[in-house]
Structure 1
């Protein structure tokens, strides 16, 4: 015992830290490569101190005395964090995929750029859409969904209590497939407008062969796509709220699916 703190209490706090850091390192934006590791570690420590009082007293009943058993417990805690982070990342990846589909159709695919805060290469429209969605996400305080999920993990899943059920495999496959569905739903207005625009340009090319429709298609597609996108902006906050509320339900289903 050191200053009234037992070794078991320190190691229990370490397990809480490992679960919280596992979730944070898997989350989008926070867990992306450009975010310094020190920032993620300090944020994990701060959340550990905050949530330690919310952890049930029976969260860790039998403390393992064998170091090997403790390491197995650590690995299980990391797996729990990665499960939650994976489900959260899918919600963001669907939004980025929608912007990528629209960006390629608008002609931005020929000019990709390196996004410094994502450490990936994406077109300019996708980078713009990503920033807009991040501002809406933070402005609506939707990040509280993941803070709530962290607290619920300690209520539903005891220390090292990960036990994936048979239905989890099908659930994760359906969840990944839903990412494509959400991307198509979000990009549908702009894609439909661009489809009609390309159809009109094709008719013009057949009617007036002397006109260089191929050269005109890039600026016309850009302005039409951008106009439809700006017209849809007022609907984004409501859609984002509904989308991440669904993501919260998926996280809860994941927690129940891996709980013992």
Structure 2
């Protein structure tokens, strides 16, 4: 009978597709929906033989139980993708803050990589570089590994645990905040020192509009700081990503 294999494949697709629906990169607004669907189906067919023993016994459940399992699998998959997405969103946030602190916040909205909302050009460059670096380091393989391990840590019969999910999200946000503060600390110090110096100069020469004159120098200093810090920034970002996915 084809009913059991089809239901088992659909249960696997719910968790894998839910993850691919929210994970960074693949869930970007720049990726067509058909591409996401085909990638999720291909990953499901590739992983199903390895997880058959964990999924197949639940494919013969009653229709009411199957609906509960489908909703639970979608929530678990979305949680795995959201953990990675929140980390990337934290980088987008600190990138926007860095653009504002270096004078690029008034440069107008640029094209965002992940979403349709406008984003400062500096933040878009940092987000694109970080996302490209993650794919170069095979972070999508880490996502697939987390999906396979999830069937051992959160089997289908255990259903979705909202308390555990909230704990995972809270820990991810806490770790991401700590990493992003480290990444943005040079720019925070730069903004404090530059604005303090400009304020003193403005007090000494109140007849000169120092804030308007100083903006090109503030932007130039921010670009120089970004030039020397971008390598370490992206490296620390990538180093912080994999422990978060491993701890999931």
* Length-normalised TM-score, structure 2: 0.89
Matched, 1:15 2:11: yes
Q: Which runs of 5+ in 2 are unaligned?
A: none
Q: Distance in 1 between matches of 2:167 and 2:136?
A: 34
- Cα drift, residue 26 of structure 1: 1.1
Is this contact kept in 2: 1:56–1:154, CA < 8 A?
Answer: no
Note the aligned Cα RMSD (angstroms).
Answer: 2.2
Mean Cα deviation higher: 134-143 or 67-76:
134-143
Distance 2:114 2:166 in 1: 32
CA change 1:128–1:62 in 2 (3 A) is closer
The alpha carbon displacement at 1:183 in A equals: 2.5
**Corresponding residue of 1:150:** 147
| 2:228 is the counterpart of 1:222 | no
* SS of equivalent residue, structure 1 residue 119: coil
Is 1:69 equivalent to 2:65 in the alignment? Answer: yes
Task: Measure how far apart 1:166 and its partner are.
Answer: 4.6
Which has more helix, going by share of residues? Answer: 2
Q: Tell me the equivalent position of 2:86.
A: 90
Where does residue 118 of structure 2 map in the other structure?
121
Preserved CA contact (<8 Å) 1:113 1:121: yes
Distance 1:172 1:134 in 2: 20
1:174 deviation in Å?
A: 4.0
What is the rounded CA distance, in whole Å, between the counterparts of 2:196 and 2:89 in structure 1?
A: 30
2:87·2:173 contact (CA, 8 Å) conserved in 1? no
Alpha-carbon spacing, 1:42–1:226, altered in 2? closer, same or farther (3 Å):
same
Equivalences for residues 220-259 of structure 1 within 5 A: 220-251=217-248
Moved more, 154-163 or 126-135: 154-163
Q: Label 1:183 to 1:158 Cα distance change in 2 as closer, same or farther (>3 A).
A: same
Alignment correspondent of 1:211: 208
1:21 Cα deviation from its structure 2 partner: 0.4
TM-aligned CA distance change 1:162 to 1:216, over 3 Å: farther
> How much does 1:16 deviate?
0.8
Structure 1 position 127, deviation (Å): 0.9
Relative distance call for 1:63 and 1:115 in structure 2 (3 A) is closer
| Preserved CA contact (<8 Å) 1:35 1:117 | no
Pair 156,173 (structure 1): closer, same or farther in 2 beyond 3 Å: closer
SS where residue 201 of structure 1 aligns?
Answer: helix
Residue pair 1:22, 1:81 contacting (<8 A) in 2 also: yes
So what's the TM-score if we normalise by structure 1? 0.85
Q: How many residues align?
A: 247
Query: Given that residues 198 and 214 in structure 2 are in contact (C-alpha distance below 8 angstroms), is that contact kept between their aligned partners in structure 1?
Result: yes
